[in-house]
Amino acid sequence: MWYRLLLCKRYLEDLLIFPFVWAGRKKAHAFIPNKPYEIIFFFPFFHTGGAEKVHAQIAQALSHKKGLIIFTRRSVNASFLNAFKQTGHDIIDVSNLTDDRRHYWRNLYYRGLFSGYINALEGPVVVFNGHSNFAYKLSRWLKKSVYQIELIHSYNSFSAIRIPFLPFYHKTVMVSRNRIQDHLHQYRRLKIPSTYDQRIQYIQNAIELPSIRSGRHLTPGHLRVMYVGRGSPEKRVWLAGEIAREARKAGVHITMTFVGDVGKELSDDNRKFDVFCGNVSDPEKLGNLYRNSADVLLITSTEEALPMVMLEAMARGSVIIATPVGDIPLHVANGRNGFLFSTSSNEQQIVREGVEYLRQLLSNPVLLEKMSTNNLEQAYEQYDLSTFNQAYRSLIESHLQ
């Protein structure tokens, strides 16, 4: 019932915006160079973020194909822009045109422009949508022979946005096993046909492992703790700061390092005593920070899929202390390679438990070393980027024959 209503709503919107789409199609070849692209990537951002890093990795895995990357929303910084450039694909940033609510008609117009251009490409074409709202709205206007793939990182607002456009996507890639179950429950609740279940494919996130596998050298009586990420609300960086503040008050000797543009999210006490590195986009520099400043990585998010920062830290032997969200519980076991908070919602409880976990690790260096070793072994066994690359190459290339 609900699914049919959402489809009807989309049909009505199609009728209303058709004049703008038609106008855009008339100008398609005047805007984009006429090149024999095989893959068109639609990504929202190139700023700091785990999703953006995954998107750059996917584009890099397919660097041997002729691709065009289109950014559709304004990025707050250029952390991953160079990584996208290194893929060798052409890049167009249309965010100033498609992400302007004051002139929303441009968004409608460019749906026609890009659909007209893509439909005119000769040979097999794949459109890869990595969480781009614009690409979902565009999918309706592409011809059936264009193979469309969507990438889902988590269960959030996009889980609802995408529903009316399911008929146009041939494959749905998800990076979290638990989030697959969330989406299947949503499908049943909205009465979505079970045929769409079969379109879901799981591909686990991965990282480029350090060329030298080295254990962690611990400082007796002192613990180095790190947070890596954005300062967005769901990350709750202030909770990491509160854990550090309360740990110091309790006599737990730590150095707290924050990587990311998060200073304004934290208290004056944190800014006085903690270390702030800002955004770090250089992989070597970030790797050294994990190795030298992260005996422990703190993750305090309300939602995650499989955090890239967690995999990166584990590959340098960091112990993980995290909220039990997304696929984190499938990779972190209490007492083996880290600790999971007993809750993801009770923030006072998270702070109390965080301080206690840090106290345990500081007072038991043998446990800390064992956890560190376990994470190194797990990272090198499970998170190799070559498996990730092969999965995406197989997915795409099977439709470009």
Q: What is the per-residue pLDDT for 212? A: 82
Residue 176 DSSP SS3: coil
CB 204 within 8 A of CB 175: yes
* The CATH number of the domain covering residues in 2-206+385-397: 3.40.50.2000
Q: Is the pLDDT of residue 1 over 80?
A: no
Average pLDDT of the segment spanning 226-244: 94
What is the rounded CA–CA span in Å between residue 337 and residue 353?
16
d(CA 279, CA 39): 30
At a CB cut-off of 8 Å and minimum separation 6, what does 222 contact? 253, 254, 255, 362
Tell me how far apart the alpha carbons of residues 199 and 201 are, in angstroms, rounded to a whole number. 6
What values do phi and psi take at 299, rounded to 5?
-125, 115
* pTM assigned to the model: 0.92
Domain 223-382 superfamily per CATH: Glycogen Phosphorylase B; (3.40.50.2000)
* 132-182 pLDDT per residue, tens: 999 999 999 999 999 999 999 998 888 899 999 999 999 999 999 999 999
Please report the pLDDT score of residue 32 as a whole number. 67
Q: Residue 321 — pLDDT band, cuts 50, 70, 90?
A: very high
Question: What is the pairing mode between strands 275-278 and 319-322?
Answer: unpaired
State both tokens at 350: 């998270």
Token duo for residue 10? 């989309």
Q: Which of the four pLDDT bands, split at 50, 70 and 90, describes residue 12?
A: very high
CA distances (Å), 169 to each of 4, 5, 13, 44, 189, in order?
17, 19, 19, 18, 20
What are the tokens at 168?
């146009």
∠ at Cα 88 (87, 94), nearest 5°? 90
Answer yes or no: are the C-beta atoms of 38 and 125 closer than 8 Å. yes
For the chain, the first-to-last Cα distance in angstroms comes to 39
Would you list the domain boundaries of the chain? 2-206+385-397, 223-382
- Check if 2-206+385-397 and 223-382 are the same fold: yes
> Tens digit of pLDDT for each residue in 68-85?
999 999 999 999 999 999
Which strands, in side-by-side order, build the sheet including 90-93?
Answer: 90-93, 67-71, 39-43, 126-130, 147-152, 171-174, 200-202
